[in-house]
């Protein structure tokens, strides 16, 4: 950790929604985060206008929810606070076409993820505040928590403070969407982006699926049945993670048998060893030096050829077919069909 990484946490008492009384907030996009932010802000008595393309299928949903909808360009010109909630890969084009021409000095430009600012894909003009309020949760939970008078933890970062009020305004927004009810952690664009990419690549999405596949393949290759391998290496993972989520590693170790605890403690570091650690450091370096993001931008510019291939290979893995069959046969399947997508990891 360097001095650049701060850890202040803000709650409801640190924020005042009326800070945005004279503002109109443009919410661009009405997907996972967009719909949640727009509706929560609206119900927090903040003026909201939703910006969507003429042919967007989200238009009717936003209108049915009682919100004012216009084009992204018009929303930005009406607004003094612009929340960019279209997918990260389309943000640079939306910025160029709809946002930049309509931004005025004194406006706030806000993101829920710092990728395009941190890697200079969007270069905001002087005179504009640039902030981030990033709920650490999929949008559907941001909305549901708000409706249940609960909060969603979030991150807050200031990239450019031209008004001198960037922090106060971003905190008002965070309160408007319900984040300060749970707690908002102060961070930087750099820390949010690099840690988010690292987490999803090394541990959450990439690391864990790879661990599961290697475990599954090791058992099946040794002659164990695919069904047993699926339960041991994938299905039970949820039970273990739930315990870790509730009470850290300690609660998990407490809850499993002594045999499992001794086996896990004595063998875990053999499986995920120093080589894995070195691979993690290399992965982090590619994030820090921009190599990953350059690759991802080129991948999108060339029509996503590798992405398509990797997706297909993942779909074709035997564990997917076994899982689909088992989820149809067992009662936990219904529950898993209702669970939220966790795209925001």
Instruction: Please give the annotated binding residues, written as ranges.
Output: 30-33, 53, 56, 58, 139, 196, 200, 232, 236, 257
Among 19, 32, 110, 180, binds ligand NAD (CB under 6 A): 32
- CB neighbour list of residue 199: distance below 8 Å, 6 or more residues apart: 345
Residue with the shortest CB distance to ligand NAD: 31
Tell me if 58 contacts ligand NAD by CB under 6 A.
Answer: yes
Tell me if 113 contacts ligand NAD by CB under 6 A.
Answer: yes
Q: How far apart are CA 48 and CA 138, in angstroms?
A: 21
Q: How far apart are CA 275 and CA 95, in angstroms?
A: 41
Annotated catalytic, 37?
no
Residue with the shortest CB distance to Mg ion: 196
For the CB of residue 286, give the shortest distance to ligand NAD in the complex, in Å. Answer: 19
Q: How far apart are CA 45 and CA 180, in angstroms?
A: 16
Catalytic residue among 113, 214, 249, 317: 113
Tell me if 176 contacts ligand NAD by CB under 6 A.
Answer: no
Tell me if 56 contacts ligand NAD by CB under 6 A.
Answer: yes
Bridge partners, 81 (sequence order): 25, 108
Q: Identify the H or E element spanning 211.
A: helix 206-221
Distances (CA, A) of 280 to 234, 248, 274, 275, 283: 22, 22, 10, 9, 5
Judged by CB under 5 A, the stretch of 76-84, 89-97, 157-165, 300-308 that binds Mg ion is: 76-84
Q: How far apart are CA 337 and CA 240, in angstroms?
A: 20
> In this structure, what token pair is assigned to residue 178?
């319900």
Contact positions with ligand NAD (CB under 6 A) in 78-107: 85-88, 90, 94
Distances (CA, A) of 111 to 72, 89, 95: 15, 13, 12
Tell me if 33 contacts ligand NAD by CB under 6 A.
Answer: yes
Among 196, 198, 220, 233, binds Mg ion (CB under 5 A): 196
Q: How far apart are CA 178 and CA 169, in angstroms?
A: 14
Q: How far apart are CA 14 and CA 331, in angstroms?
A: 45
Rank residues 183 and 264 by Cβ distance to Mg ion and give the closer one.
264
Task: Sketch the per residue contact string, 77 through 106, with Mg ion: x for CB under 5 A, - otherwise.
Answer: x-x---------------------------
Tell me if 72 contacts ligand NAD by CB under 6 A.
Answer: yes
Helical segments of 80-182, H only: 91-94, 115-118, 139-147, 166-176, 179-182
- In the complex, the residues that contact ligand NAD under the rule CB under 6 A are 29-34, 52-53, 56, 58, 72, 85-88, 90, 94, 112-113, 134-135, 138-139, 343-344
Question: What is the set of active-site residues?
Answer: 113
């Amino acid at each position: 950790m360097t001095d650049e990484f701060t850890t202040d946490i803000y709650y409801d008492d640190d924020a005042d929604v009326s800070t945005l009384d004279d503002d109109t907030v443009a919410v661009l996009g009405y997907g996972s985060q967009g719909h949640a932010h727009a509706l929560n802000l609206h119900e927090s008595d903040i003026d909201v206008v939703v910006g969507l393309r003429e042919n967007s299928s989200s238009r009717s949903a936003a209108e049915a929810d009682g919100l004012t909808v216009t084009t992204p360009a018009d929303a930005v010109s009406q607004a003094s606070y612009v929340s960019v909630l279209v997918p990260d890969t389309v943000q640079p084009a939306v910025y160029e076409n709809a946002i930049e021409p309509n931004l005025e000095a004194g406006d706030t430009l806000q993101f829920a993820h710092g990728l395009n600012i941190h890697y200079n894909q969007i270069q905001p003009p002087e005179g504009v505040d640039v902030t981030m309020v990033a709920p650490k949760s999929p949008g559907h939970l941001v909305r549901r928590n708000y409706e249940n008078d609960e909060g969603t933890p979030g991150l807050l970062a200031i990239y450019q403070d031209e008004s001198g009020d960037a922090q106060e305004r971003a905190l008002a927004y965070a309160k408007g969407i319900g984040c300060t009810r749970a707690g908002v952690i102060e961070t930087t664009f750099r820390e949010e982006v690099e840690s988010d990419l690292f987490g999803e690549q090394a541990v959450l999405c990439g690391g864990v699926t790879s661990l599961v596949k290697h475990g599954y393949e090791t058992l099946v290759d040794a002659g164990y049945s695919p069904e047993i391998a699926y339960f041991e290496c994938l299905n039970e993972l949820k039970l273990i993670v739930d315990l870790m989520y509730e009470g850290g590693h300690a609660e998990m170790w407490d809850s499993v048998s002594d045999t499992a605890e001794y086996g896990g403690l004595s063998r875990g570091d053999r499986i995920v060893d120093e080589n894995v650690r070195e691979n993690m450091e290399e992965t982090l370096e590619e994030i820090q030096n921009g190599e990953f993001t350059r690759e991802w931008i080129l991948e999108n510019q060339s029509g996503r050829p590798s992405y398509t291939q990797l997706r297909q290979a993942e779909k074709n893995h035997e564990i997917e077919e076994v899982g689909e069959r088992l989820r149809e046969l067992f009662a936990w399947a219904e529950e898993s069909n209702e669970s939220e997508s966790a795209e925001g990891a």
